Amino acid sequence: MGSNVLLEVKSLKKYFPIQKGFWRKKVGEVKAVDDISFYIREGETLGLVGESGSGKTTTGRAILRAIEPTEGEILFNINGTLINILQLNKKELKQTRKHMQMIFQDPYSSLNPRMTVKDIIGEPLLVNGVARGKELEDRVAELMKAVGLRPEYMIRYPHAFSGGQRQRIGIARALALNPRLIVCDEPVSALDVSIQAQTLNLLQDLQEKFHLTYLFISHDLGVVEHISDRVAVMYTGKIVEIAETEELFKNPKHPYTEALLAAVPKPDPKYRETRKLLFGEVADPSNPPSGCYFHPRCPYAKDICKQEYPSLINIGENGNEHFVSCHFADKLSLAGIE
């Protein structure tokens, strides 16, 4: 790990209790995030992909401590000092949180319908005592311009904006306190294709302009490939593969990544009928299979896969990192894209 690492996550776990009956007795656990480790470099975009319920949102929220992780370390680099987010008290957390923000999937429900755009974008500034009055208004206008909204619309309510515009309001709010890291949770999934491209371009422009670091969560592999420098693939609460974007797409090393890449319908009729289908269903994080969680669906599984969980190891060559959690990571020859 180099010195320009902004965030390092070590052995992060988040288990949700499953409760039953009147006494809410704990009868089990959903291992939503189950011992994952990764880092993000300053200024880079790490893509996080995986199917529904694989633990992407939980990971994002745990990093910001929007939910309390069960275990692990979250190290955040503030001007050369590593701070473990999980050991901060309330006051310290509030200070540190300024540096980390989140953008949500649903631009409809994540904005308070009774607040004007000015109040929504200005709230973090007011709450943290950064600006008020005329200064606040100027800063909100500046933020609105940065995301391509007209400052004249400051006194309007969210319902008067389109989906893409509401997402821009959410982005402006996230930018208000000059954060270093933004967790983008499916920021374009609810948007129309033509608006998606605009929003992705905006996120890229802002990253350059404000030197932002993104954890970019999405289940759309096309979007993730476009925006990410590196990509992590999750399956049932575990990270099964992390590599540079191009490497991961061209040269996947985990059978699940291969299957995921094959399953995406490509917007080009020449790929018809070339797909390999993955059978079976996504594993249940409250009752994961034995051994490698992917083994019941894996076309390459052998006996050992049913017995032992394969640890995440680096099989990259020439000093490149390519982490994979598969017993046969360095033996299988898997198909990527093109």
Ligand X SMILES: Nc1ncnc2c1ncn2[C@@H]1O[C@H](COP(=O)(O)OP(=O)(O)OP(=O)(O)O)[C@@H](O)[C@H]1O
- The residue ranges that bind Mg ion (CB under 5 A) are 57
- Does the protein bind other proteins through residue 165 (CB under 8 A)? yes
- Does the protein bind ligand SF4 through residue 253 (CB under 6 A)? no
Mention every residue, 6+ apart, whose C-beta is less than 8 A from residue 182.
Answer: 100, 101, 102, 103, 174, 212, 213, 214, 215
- Does the protein bind other proteins through residue 85 (CB under 8 A)? no
Backbone angles phi, psi at 296, to 5 degrees: -65, -20
Q: At 61, is the secondary structure helix, strand, or coil?
A: helix
- Does the protein bind ligand SF4 through residue 326 (CB under 6 A)? yes
Query: Mask: binding to ligand X, 269-298, rule CB under 6 A, as x and -?
Result: ----------------x-------------
Q: Is 4 exposed, middle or buried (0-12, 13-18, 19+ CB in 10 A)?
A: exposed
Query: Which of ligand SF4, Mg ion, ligand X, none does residue 300 bind to, with CB < 5 to 8 Å depending on kind?
Result: ligand SF4
- Does the protein bind ligand X through residue 156 (CB under 6 A)? no
Q: Which is nearer to ligand SF4, 217 or 312 (CB)?
A: 312
Scanning 19-27, 107-115, 209-217, 243-251 for contacts with other proteins by CB under 8 A, the matching segment is: 243-251
C-alpha 223, offset from chain centre: 12
- Does the protein bind other proteins through residue 315 (CB under 8 A)? no
- Does the protein bind ligand X through residue 232 (CB under 6 A)? no
Using CB under 6 A as the binding criterion, the count of chain residues that bind ligand SF4 stands at 13
Give strand pairing partners of 25: 20
CB of 19 to other proteins, least distance (A): 19
Scanning 6-14, 111-119, 157-165, 324-332 for contacts with other proteins by CB under 8 A, the matching segment is: 157-165
Among 144, 298, 312, 334, binds ligand SF4 (CB under 6 A): 298
Scanning 55-63, 135-143, 220-228, 259-267 for contacts with ligand X by CB under 6 A, the matching segment is: 55-63
Query: Which of other proteins, Mg ion, ligand SF4, none does residue 326 bind to, with CB < 5 to 8 Å depending on kind?
Result: ligand SF4
Residues in the chain: 338
Among 6, 7, 35, 57, binds ligand X (CB under 6 A): 57
- Could you please report the per-residue DSSP string of 70-137? SEEEEEEEETTEEEEGGG--HHHHHHHHTTEEEE-S-TTTSS-TTS-HHHHHHHHHHHTTS--HHHHH
Which pairs from 164-168 meet CB under 8 Å and 24+ separation?
164/107, 164/191, 164/192, 164/195, 164/198, 164/199, 166/107, 166/108, 166/111, 167/103, 167/107, 167/191, 167/195, 167/199, 168/199, 168/202
- Does the protein bind other proteins through residue 219 (CB under 8 A)? yes
Mention every residue, 6+ apart, whose C-beta is less than 8 A from residue 267.
Answer: none
CB of 236 to other proteins, least distance (A): 12
Q: In Å, how far are 28, 202, 229 from 208, measured between CA atoms? A: 45, 10, 14
- Does the protein bind ligand SF4 through residue 234 (CB under 6 A)? no
- Does the protein bind ligand SF4 through residue 295 (CB under 6 A)? yes
- Does the protein bind other proteins through residue 272 (CB under 8 A)? yes
Give strand pairing partners of 48: 217, 232
At 116, the amino acid letter reads T
Q: Which is nearer to ligand SF4, 148 or 296 (CB)?
A: 296
- Does the protein bind ligand X through residue 173 (CB under 6 A)? no
Residues in contact with ligand SF4 by CB under 6 A are 254-255, 292, 294-295, 298, 300-301, 305, 310, 326-328
